Amino acid sequence: MTTAREIPDILSDGFTTDPYSAYRVLRRDAPLLWHEATQSYIISRHEDVRRAFKSDAFTTANYDWQLEPVHGHTFLQLSGREHAVRRALVAPAFRGSTLRDRFLPVIEQNARDLIDGFRTTGSADLVGQFATRFPINVIVDMLGLDKADHPRFHRWYTAIIAFLGNLTQDPGVAAEGMRTREEFAEYMLPIIRHRRDHLGDDLLSTLCRAEIDGTRMSDEDIKSFCSLLLAAGGETTDKALAAMFANLLLHPDQLDDVRRDRSLIPRAFAETLRYTPPVHMIMRQPDRDVEVSGGTIPAGSTVTCLIGAANRDGDRYADPDSFDIHREELNTATAFTAAADHLAFALGRHFCVGALLAEAEVTAATDQLLDALPDLRLADGAHPVEQGVFTRGPAELPVVFTPAA
């Protein structure tokens, strides 16, 4: 096993600027790395990260300290039948006819509303004016909450994501995360209690009435899930959508392909999830000693799984550092399911419950953006720059286009 002194440090400025070069070194020279600052073992090869997500040996016990302080107790911390039942209570709202008939119109309307704000101007920042606002607006509308509170929701999910990615244990970031949990509870719990007595067709009502074998979600369960949904659903879709457009704008020939054939949108999204995933690392905790490439991870240790590194593993993907929506390894039939090849949504029993919602959001948004802005291109001199370590995406995406009449 290699020590942190011999390879790039995931907390260094150089890593933040270009993690992909560091990932190559990690996969080649330090597939198992003890990182003193985060008190965790780092794994970076596709086969090892995939195993950490699928094997029963790896638990989510780390969420007791990583998620619960800001979200409350979530179903992600559960296992066995208890986890399966809690997941089954929420999953139907994010797939099939419920997603298509009830929530797709909400997604499409929110995309139109945001595009209407800049379609006549000839220029926009697709991050600040669209990507950071779109998924939060969608989730707030799905839940039947007041969209006028968008600035508050955005501040909350930003604080939560900062808490989850607080690898340096900054006390200010930790304190803000704790305050966010209290503020969100004060906001949501009265709404949940009122909604139980005034059920409608919104997602919050669906969660209130959901029942399996006599098990229902408590007010606290629903509040915690809504907190998780706002943070995970907002941050990941925000960054994935911005990254996909950045990748396409930097590869105009592939953007032209998508313009001509919109059935390629899922391929562009799936390749973005592999090439520039919105979440670069997820933690797990094994309940027994586990052998991986490079050595043994002791039971009870924290394991940092580098999704960003695994998704560019040359042993799994041809020409892994190239963005190619036509690559043979892409399978859009499984790319947004627990059978996905890329690891951006994790795998196994804790596969992202909102993956199909994210696909629906990105597909609808891309369709409408390309319809409204048919000659969309990067502004002169613009070059998208990614930011972030735990989550990562373009800081801004300035574009120009012919203004709509």
For residue 316, what are its two tokens?
A: 């799994």
Beta bridge partners of 297: 290
Please give the single-letter amino acid code of residue 126: L
**Structural domain contains residue 298:** yes
Dihedral (Cα; 311, 315, 319, 321), 10-degree rounding: 40
Secondary structure, 3-state, 258-318: HHHCHHHHHHHHHHHHHHCCCECEEEEEECCCEEECCEEECCCCCEEEEHHHHCCCCCCCC
Q: Convert the pLDDT of each residue in 303-354 to its tens digit.
A: 999 999 999 999 999 999 999 999 998 998 888 888 888 999 888 877 888 8
In a domain, 395, yes or no: no
What global pTM score does this model have?
A: 0.93
Summarize pLDDT for 80-119 with one digit per residue, the tens.
777 777 777 777 878 888 888 889 999 999 999 999 999 9
Range of 218's domain?
Answer: 13-374
For residue 379, being part of any structural domain is answered with no
Q: What is the average pLDDT score of the chain?
A: 91
In a domain, 2, yes or no: no
Mean pLDDT along residues 288-294: 96
Return all residues near 182 (Cβ < 8 A) that are at least 6 apart: none
Would you state the pLDDT for residue 38? 92
**Is 5 within the bounds of a domain?**
no
Is beta strand 295-297 parallel, antiparallel or unpaired with respect to 290-292?
antiparallel
Q: Which of 277, 304, 281, 282 is nearest to 386 (CA)?
A: 277
CATH number at residue 263: 1.10.630.10
Model confidence at 1, pLDDT cuts 50, 70, 90, reads low
pLDDT (mean) for 216-237: 88
Within-domain flag for 386: no
In DSSP terms, 35 is beta-bridged to: 40
CB atoms within 10 A of CB 280: 25
Domain-embedded: residue 4: no
The predicted-structure confidence for 345-384, as pLDDT tens digits, reads as follows: 888 877 888 888 999 999 999 999 999 999 999 999 999 9
> Which DSSP letter does residue 45 get?
S
Are 353 and 91 spatial neighbours (Cβ–Cβ below 8 Å)? yes
**Number of domains the chain contains:** 1
Residue 98 phi, psi (nearest 5): -65, -45
Average pLDDT, stretch 181-199?
95
* Maximal C-alpha separation, the chain: 64
Report phi then psi at 221, rounded to 5. Answer: -60, -45
Judged against a pLDDT cut of 80, whether residue 405 lies above it is answered with: no
Q: How far apart are CA 245 and CA 339, in angstroms?
A: 25
Neighbours of 356 (CB within 10 A): 17
pLDDT tens string 29-81: 999 999 999 999 999 999 999 999 999 999 999 888 888 888 888 777 777 77
pLDDT bucket at 164, cuts 50 / 70 / 90: confident
Residue 107 lies in a domain: yes
Give CA–CA dist 275/383, Å, rounded: 17
